[in-house]
Amino acid sequence: MNLEQPTEQNMKIILEELADRLGVANRSLMDPEDYDLEKYDELKLMYEMIINKGSLSASETQAFIEELRSVRK
């Protein structure tokens, strides 16, 4: 899987994986239509950080969710 290009499909993959890793219950918060492709690099960076980190503490999870809210349209 190559996530280097900022495409709608890649954004969808990243958001789905972030939702899984962060345990987001309300998946409507992760709708790709609510995110701008101009913010793709920020989302990809968050994705890579979470993948590399593995498990997150409750406060880290909350911080990532807050950051996701800040990059929504």
Tens-digit pLDDT profile for the chain (73 aa)?
789 999 999 999 999 999 999 888 888 888 999 999 999 999 999 999 999 988 889 999 999 988 888 888 8
| This prediction's pTM | 0.87
What gap in Å lies between CA 2 and CA 40, rounded to an integer?
14
Cβ atoms within 10 Å of 68's Cβ, excluding its own: 22
The CA distance from 56 to 31, in Å, is 22
pLDDT at residue 39, as a whole number: 93
Task: Give the whole-angstrom CA distance, residue 40 versus residue 62.
Answer: 20
Distance between CA atoms of residues 31 and 47, nearest Å: 15
